[in-house]
Amino acid sequence: MVRGRQPGGPHARGAGRLRGAVNHADEWGTLTCGDKYFNAFTYLATGNMPTTSGVNVVCITDNGNHGIRVQGGFGDLPGGGPSDALLTYTVSVVGTSQLISDAHITGNPEVVPHVGGAGAVAVSDTWSEFPGATISIYKINPPGFTHASDAILFPHPVPALHAQKDIFAFAENGLAYLSFIDQTYSQTSVPEPGTLGLLGIGLLGLAGYSRRRLRQH
Protein backbone atom coordinates (compact mmCIF):
# COMPACT_ATOMS: atom_id res chain seq x y z
CA MET A 1 0.00 0.00 0.00
CA VAL A 2 1.00 3.62 -0.27
CA ARG A 3 1.63 4.48 3.35
CA GLY A 4 2.44 7.97 4.65
CA ARG A 5 5.69 8.42 6.57
CA GLN A 6 7.14 11.40 8.39
CA PRO A 7 9.46 11.82 11.35
CA GLY A 8 7.36 11.53 14.48
CA GLY A 9 4.90 8.85 13.46
CA PRO A 10 4.78 5.71 11.35
CA HIS A 11 1.45 6.62 9.76
CA ALA A 12 1.88 10.38 9.25
CA ARG A 13 1.19 11.71 5.79
CA GLY A 14 4.04 12.59 3.45
CA ALA A 15 5.67 9.51 1.91
CA GLY A 16 4.89 6.00 0.88
CA ARG A 17 5.74 2.82 -1.00
CA LEU A 18 3.76 0.99 -3.64
CA ARG A 19 2.98 -2.42 -2.19
CA GLY A 20 0.76 -5.32 -3.12
CA ALA A 21 0.33 -7.58 -6.10
CA VAL A 22 0.36 -6.05 -9.57
CA ASN A 23 -3.15 -4.98 -10.66
CA HIS A 24 -4.41 -4.83 -7.05
CA ALA A 25 -4.79 -1.07 -7.17
CA ASP A 26 -7.31 -0.97 -4.34
CA GLU A 27 -4.59 -2.21 -1.96
CA TRP A 28 -2.24 0.68 -2.65
CA GLY A 29 -3.72 3.47 -0.54
CA THR A 30 -3.43 7.24 -0.94
CA LEU A 31 -1.13 10.22 -0.47
CA THR A 32 -2.09 13.76 0.56
CA CYS A 33 0.60 16.23 -0.52
CA GLY A 34 -0.35 19.77 0.47
CA ASP A 35 -3.46 20.63 -1.52
CA LYS A 36 -3.11 17.60 -3.82
CA TYR A 37 -4.67 14.20 -3.13
CA PHE A 38 -3.21 11.17 -4.95
CA ASN A 39 -5.03 7.84 -5.07
CA ALA A 40 -6.01 4.88 -7.28
CA PHE A 41 -2.37 3.91 -7.91
CA THR A 42 -1.68 1.02 -10.28
CA TYR A 43 1.68 -0.32 -11.50
CA LEU A 44 2.67 -2.77 -14.22
CA ALA A 45 6.25 -3.77 -15.10
CA THR A 46 8.05 -5.86 -17.73
CA GLY A 47 11.67 -6.80 -18.35
CA ASN A 48 14.19 -5.37 -15.87
CA MET A 49 11.84 -2.80 -14.32
CA PRO A 50 11.37 -3.04 -10.53
CA THR A 51 8.39 -4.75 -8.94
CA THR A 52 6.00 -2.78 -6.74
CA SER A 53 8.11 -3.49 -3.64
CA GLY A 54 11.01 -1.65 -5.29
CA VAL A 55 9.10 1.56 -6.04
CA ASN A 56 8.78 4.41 -3.52
CA VAL A 57 6.41 7.38 -3.76
CA VAL A 58 6.95 10.47 -1.58
CA CYS A 59 5.48 13.97 -1.41
CA ILE A 60 7.51 16.89 -2.77
CA THR A 61 7.07 20.65 -3.15
CA ASP A 62 8.78 22.63 -5.91
CA ASN A 63 8.26 26.40 -6.27
CA GLY A 64 5.10 26.14 -4.21
CA ASN A 65 3.66 23.35 -6.36
CA HIS A 66 2.82 20.06 -4.64
CA GLY A 67 3.36 16.66 -6.19
CA ILE A 68 5.07 13.29 -5.92
CA ARG A 69 8.52 11.79 -6.42
CA VAL A 70 8.58 8.28 -7.88
CA GLN A 71 11.85 6.55 -6.97
CA GLY A 72 13.18 3.14 -7.95
CA GLY A 73 15.69 1.27 -10.08
CA PHE A 74 13.99 1.79 -13.43
CA GLY A 75 16.15 0.50 -16.26
CA ASP A 76 17.13 -2.09 -18.83
CA LEU A 77 20.13 -4.41 -19.22
CA PRO A 78 21.65 -5.51 -22.54
CA GLY A 79 20.20 -8.61 -24.12
CA GLY A 80 16.58 -9.34 -24.86
CA GLY A 81 13.96 -6.73 -25.57
CA PRO A 82 13.21 -3.39 -23.91
CA SER A 83 11.81 -2.95 -20.40
CA ASP A 84 8.71 -0.93 -19.58
CA ALA A 85 6.69 0.17 -16.55
CA LEU A 86 3.33 1.91 -16.37
CA LEU A 87 2.23 3.86 -13.31
CA THR A 88 -1.29 5.30 -13.19
CA TYR A 89 -2.99 7.40 -10.52
CA THR A 90 -5.60 10.07 -9.90
CA VAL A 91 -4.71 13.52 -8.57
CA SER A 92 -7.31 15.96 -7.25
CA VAL A 93 -7.39 19.26 -5.38
CA VAL A 94 -8.30 19.28 -1.68
CA GLY A 95 -8.75 22.08 0.85
CA THR A 96 -8.88 24.88 -1.74
CA SER A 97 -11.19 26.29 -4.41
CA GLN A 98 -8.31 26.44 -6.89
CA LEU A 99 -8.08 24.07 -9.88
CA ILE A 100 -5.16 22.23 -11.49
CA SER A 101 -3.82 24.29 -14.40
CA ASP A 102 -0.51 22.70 -15.46
CA ALA A 103 1.92 19.84 -14.85
CA HIS A 104 5.71 19.60 -14.54
CA ILE A 105 8.11 16.66 -14.77
CA THR A 106 11.85 16.30 -14.06
CA GLY A 107 14.09 13.25 -13.75
CA ASN A 108 17.52 11.75 -14.40
CA PRO A 109 17.39 9.56 -17.53
CA GLU A 110 20.86 8.20 -18.31
CA VAL A 111 22.71 5.78 -20.58
CA VAL A 112 26.13 4.60 -19.39
CA PRO A 113 28.93 4.47 -20.19
CA HIS A 114 28.67 7.93 -21.71
CA VAL A 115 31.18 6.91 -24.40
CA GLY A 116 30.31 3.61 -26.03
CA GLY A 117 27.00 3.06 -24.27
CA ALA A 118 24.01 2.71 -26.56
CA GLY A 119 20.36 2.82 -25.54
CA ALA A 120 17.42 5.00 -24.61
CA VAL A 121 15.34 5.95 -21.59
CA ALA A 122 12.05 7.85 -21.81
CA VAL A 123 9.22 8.84 -19.48
CA SER A 124 5.94 10.06 -20.98
CA ASP A 125 2.95 11.48 -19.09
CA THR A 126 -0.59 11.59 -20.44
CA TRP A 127 -4.01 12.38 -18.91
CA SER A 128 -7.40 10.92 -19.76
CA GLU A 129 -9.05 14.35 -19.50
CA PHE A 130 -6.85 15.81 -22.27
CA PRO A 131 -6.27 13.31 -25.11
CA GLY A 132 -3.18 14.25 -27.09
CA ALA A 133 -1.62 16.28 -24.28
CA THR A 134 1.74 14.85 -23.19
CA ILE A 135 5.04 15.75 -21.57
CA SER A 136 8.22 13.70 -21.58
CA ILE A 137 11.84 13.39 -20.51
CA TYR A 138 14.43 11.20 -22.22
CA LYS A 139 18.05 10.28 -22.93
CA ILE A 140 19.04 8.76 -26.28
CA ASN A 141 22.65 7.67 -26.81
CA PRO A 142 23.97 7.89 -29.44
CA PRO A 143 23.72 10.71 -30.45
CA GLY A 144 23.44 11.92 -26.85
CA PHE A 145 20.11 13.73 -26.84
CA THR A 146 18.98 14.61 -23.30
CA HIS A 147 15.73 16.23 -22.16
CA ALA A 148 15.48 16.17 -18.36
CA SER A 149 12.43 18.39 -17.72
CA ASP A 150 9.16 19.32 -19.35
CA ALA A 151 5.88 21.09 -18.56
CA ILE A 152 2.42 21.64 -20.02
CA LEU A 153 -0.39 24.16 -19.55
CA PHE A 154 -3.72 22.36 -19.82
CA PRO A 155 -6.44 23.74 -22.15
CA HIS A 156 -8.53 24.63 -19.08
CA PRO A 157 -8.26 24.14 -15.29
CA VAL A 158 -9.76 20.99 -13.76
CA PRO A 159 -10.42 19.71 -10.22
CA ALA A 160 -8.91 16.25 -10.91
CA LEU A 161 -6.81 14.32 -13.43
CA HIS A 162 -6.36 10.64 -14.28
CA ALA A 163 -2.66 10.29 -15.10
CA GLN A 164 -0.67 7.65 -16.96
CA LYS A 165 3.13 7.60 -16.60
CA ASP A 166 4.99 5.28 -18.99
CA ILE A 167 8.65 4.50 -18.25
CA PHE A 168 10.58 2.92 -21.13
CA ALA A 169 14.20 1.75 -21.23
CA PHE A 170 16.29 -0.13 -23.80
CA ALA A 171 20.00 -0.93 -23.54
CA GLU A 172 21.84 -2.13 -26.61
CA ASN A 173 25.03 -2.16 -24.58
CA GLY A 174 25.88 -0.62 -21.22
CA LEU A 175 22.96 0.37 -18.96
CA ALA A 176 19.89 2.50 -19.57
CA TYR A 177 18.41 3.68 -16.27
CA LEU A 178 16.40 6.24 -14.33
CA SER A 179 16.24 6.47 -10.53
CA PHE A 180 13.67 9.23 -9.89
CA ILE A 181 10.83 11.17 -11.49
CA ASP A 182 9.44 14.35 -9.91
CA GLN A 183 5.87 15.22 -10.86
CA THR A 184 4.25 18.45 -9.64
CA TYR A 185 1.02 20.25 -10.47
CA SER A 186 0.24 23.97 -10.41
CA GLN A 187 -3.12 25.43 -9.53
CA THR A 188 -5.03 28.59 -10.40
CA SER A 189 -7.90 30.52 -8.87
CA VAL A 190 -11.25 30.40 -10.64
CA PRO A 191 -13.62 33.37 -10.10
CA GLU A 192 -16.80 32.56 -8.17
CA PRO A 193 -20.07 32.76 -10.16
CA GLY A 194 -21.11 35.84 -8.13
CA THR A 195 -17.84 37.57 -9.01
CA LEU A 196 -18.36 36.81 -12.71
CA GLY A 197 -21.90 38.21 -12.51
CA LEU A 198 -20.71 41.46 -10.93
CA LEU A 199 -17.99 41.73 -13.56
CA GLY A 200 -20.59 41.31 -16.32
CA ILE A 201 -22.83 44.00 -14.80
CA GLY A 202 -19.87 46.33 -14.54
CA LEU A 203 -18.92 45.79 -18.17
CA LEU A 204 -22.52 46.42 -19.31
CA GLY A 205 -22.62 49.62 -17.29
CA LEU A 206 -19.32 50.75 -18.79
CA ALA A 207 -20.61 50.05 -22.31
CA GLY A 208 -23.77 52.08 -21.66
CA TYR A 209 -21.76 55.00 -20.27
CA SER A 210 -19.52 54.95 -23.35
CA ARG A 211 -22.51 55.04 -25.71
CA ARG A 212 -24.01 58.04 -23.83
CA ARG A 213 -20.72 59.93 -24.11
CA LEU A 214 -20.56 59.23 -27.83
CA ARG A 215 -24.12 60.59 -28.35
CA GLN A 216 -23.27 63.71 -26.37
CA HIS A 217 -20.31 64.41 -28.62
Q: Is residue 164 part of a domain?
A: yes
Q: Is residue 199 part of a domain?
A: no
Contact 138, 127 (CB under 8 A): no
Q: Is residue 205 part of a domain?
A: no
- pTM for this structure? 0.79
Instruction: Report the domain count for the chain.
Output: 1
**118: how many CB neighbours lie within 10 A of its CB?**
16
Q: What is the pLDDT of residue 209?
A: 44
Query: Average pLDDT by consecutive 10-residue portion of the chain (217 residues)?
Result: 35 45 49 96 96 94 96 95 97 95 98 90 98 97 95 98 98 96 93 48 49 52
Q: Is residue 214 part of a domain?
A: no
Structural domain range at position 45: 15-191
Q: Is residue 129 part of a domain?
A: yes
Q: Is residue 138 part of a domain?
A: yes
Q: Is residue 201 part of a domain?
A: no
Q: Is residue 147 part of a domain?
A: yes
Read off the CATH number of the domain in which 79 is found: 2.60.120
Q: What is the pLDDT of residue 11?
A: 30
Residues 3, 101: Cα–Cα separation, whole Å: 27
**162: how many CB neighbours lie within 10 A of its CB?**
14
Contact 76, 82 (CB under 8 A): yes
Q: What is the pLDDT of residue 8?
A: 32
